[in-house]
Chain A
């Protein structure tokens, strides 16, 4: 379109290429992840969320830490599930809903990349931002290590639990974002689902649910199958158990797969 200085299309490109290139699977995932991570850090989103999360988690924990006076991170790990159920959907709500709202999804999904690559790329970006959240809380174990003699193994397994817990909730948030073209609806759906997954792991909630439908034991069934706290708490106790790892990895994979499926179906 350059009116005087444009190189000739034919001279610059020669004959049009025989078969266009396409990125390999991991390369495609990396390209999408880099763009999404850039979108987070190119706006105020990443900075605001990180500061808010670290300030809230840190201040709640420090209050309890000084009251109890123990070199123990268990209270920190105990308070995070509900906080993450509210915070993580804020990271994921834009990932697909914004693409649908702004119609860039057509641009993205007519590139030579598979829906699975797009899903994994966005997931990797959200996970990386969540990693920044967690990295910003590392001064807490360092401080505890300086002030006392904490169980390092429990701290490490607790953080591993947080990574797996967060990954699952990010996958859940991405799935709800793919289901709706509205970011607010995506946030509300993911938050309600996340809080429900946390609450059905609380024995008081289980008792209430079992009491409501005595013959069905809904509360106990949900606790045994879907509740997120029992597997998470095994990490907090310092145990890395295969069933707990499989719970998080399995549900995360299922939600990511469902996300890719929604992308395919929604185009028809």
Chain B
């Protein structure tokens, strides 16, 4: 469903993403883990068709995101990092707009609106303007908008940001319900959050993909060495980033030399 092949992204001389490759199939929920500035959002933006890669290729449900951007977007639901919404619109009008912009009209639109409103628990704020809603509600509105067209591929950039602990638990359950038939890639810099939802994680730092592993395998490795999962992932990041200092520095690499 998502194919990322040797993708590189440069901003001038800064290398934001360095030769990243991975694949996601239907039914997979994969966590994209890395510190702030590691390149997670840049990769998601490229998959979403918002940013073109400098080199490499990306495909969504078989569609090339550059040459077949419209087709790829039809298959995508995308919750961007900052979850920017049309603030002055009322929540219901905003969701209806997103549905229509996705080609939904009439009974199908009404059906999908009912579903996302119920699924994201937005009944209480439907008549409010988006800018009157709390951060948690805004996040749920963004999630509802990304699901309105029942996409086969879901990209969620820091989706639990702003949610309270109860909502985070509800979100995890919801993602599990959504998973059948879909590829879901969601980014986070919190390992426990990723570990609670996913079976597989991608670890990225300084633009490079450092690990693509099943969580069960990592847990087994951690148990074998008598350390916890967090410590193991940190060691992987340090070892493959060229030491602790480089690992902590994160961010894009000027010049683009190998780390």
Binding site for B on A (CB under 8 A): 1-3, 5-10, 12-13, 15-23, 27-28, 31-32, 34-35, 38-39, 42-43, 102-104, 106-107, 109-114, 267-268
- Please tell me which one of the listed residues A9, A34, A104, A112 contacts residue B84 in the complex, with CB atoms under 8 A apart: A104
Q: Using CB atoms, name the residue of chain A closest to B80.
A: A106
CB-defined contacts of B149 to chain A, threshold 8 Å = 17, 20-21
B101 and A21 contact, CB distance less than 8 A? no
B103 and A112 contact, CB distance less than 8 A? yes
B151 and A35 contact, CB distance less than 8 A? no
Size bracket of the B interface: 35 or more
Stretch of B163-171, B192-200, B235-243 contacting A (4+ beta carbons < 8 Å) = B163-171
B102 at the A/B interface (Cβ < 8 Å)?
yes
CB-defined contacts of B103 to chain A, threshold 8 Å = 20-23, 27, 112
A38 and B89 contact, CB distance less than 8 A? yes
CB-defined contacts of B181 to chain A, threshold 8 Å = 10, 15-16
Q: A60–B5 Cα gap in the complex (Å)?
A: 65
CB-defined contacts of B45 to chain A, threshold 8 Å = 106
Question: Can you show 15 pairs from A to B with CB atoms below 8 A apart?
Answer: A1-B121, A1-B167, A2-B170, A9-B119, A19-B74, A22-B74, A22-B103, A23-B103, A103-B80, A106-B84, A107-B85, A110-B48, A110-B50, A111-B101, A113-B70
Stretch of B30-38, B172-180, B202-210, B218-226 contacting A (4+ beta carbons < 8 Å) = B172-180
Q: A110–B103 Cα gap in the complex (Å)?
A: 14
Q: Which 10 A-B pairs have the closest CB atoms?
A: A21-B103, A20-B74, A103-B84, A9-B177, A112-B73, A16-B181, A15-B181, A23-B103, A9-B178, A22-B103
Per-residue A-contact encoding for B28-71, CB less than 8 Å = 1, 0 else:
00000000000000000100111110000000010000000011
B253 at the A/B interface (Cβ < 8 Å)?
no
Query: Given A1-B167, A42-B88, A107-B85, is A6 in contact with B74 using a C-beta cutoff of 8 Å?
Result: no
> What is the distance, in angstroms, from B78's C-beta to the closest C-beta of chain A?
5
B182 at the A/B interface (Cβ < 8 Å)?
yes
Q: A217–B170 Cα gap in the complex (Å)?
A: 72
- Please tell me which one of the listed residues B86, B97, B151, B171 contacts residue A1 in the complex, with CB atoms under 8 A apart: B171
Q: A113–B102 Cα gap in the complex (Å)?
A: 8
A2 and B121 contact, CB distance less than 8 A? yes
Q: A102–B82 Cα gap in the complex (Å)?
A: 10
A107 and B174 contact, CB distance less than 8 A? no
CB-defined contacts of B121 to chain A, threshold 8 Å = 1-3, 6
B118 at the A/B interface (Cβ < 8 Å)?
yes
> What is the distance, in angstroms, from B38's C-beta to the closest C-beta of chain A?
19
B97 and A107 contact, CB distance less than 8 A? no
B50 and A12 contact, CB distance less than 8 A? no
Query: Given A104-B85, A267-B51, is A111 in contact with B73 using a C-beta cutoff of 8 Å?
Result: yes
CB-defined contacts of B212 to chain A, threshold 8 Å = none
B3 at the A/B interface (Cβ < 8 Å)?
no
B140 at the A/B interface (Cβ < 8 Å)?
yes
CB-defined contacts of A103 to chain B, threshold 8 Å = 80, 82, 84
- Please tell me which one of the listed residues B115, B166, B171 contacts residue A12 in the complex, with CB atoms under 8 A apart: B115
B87 at the A/B interface (Cβ < 8 Å)?
yes
Q: A268–B140 Cα gap in the complex (Å)?
A: 29
B84 and A107 contact, CB distance less than 8 A? yes
Per-residue A-contact encoding for B77-105, CB less than 8 Å = 1, 0 else:
01010101111110001000110111110
Q: A259–B88 Cα gap in the complex (Å)?
A: 25
CB-defined contacts of A6 to chain B, threshold 8 Å = 118-119, 121, 174, 177
Query: Given A1-B171, A17-B152, A23-B103, is A110 in contact with B119 using a C-beta cutoff of 8 Å?
Result: no
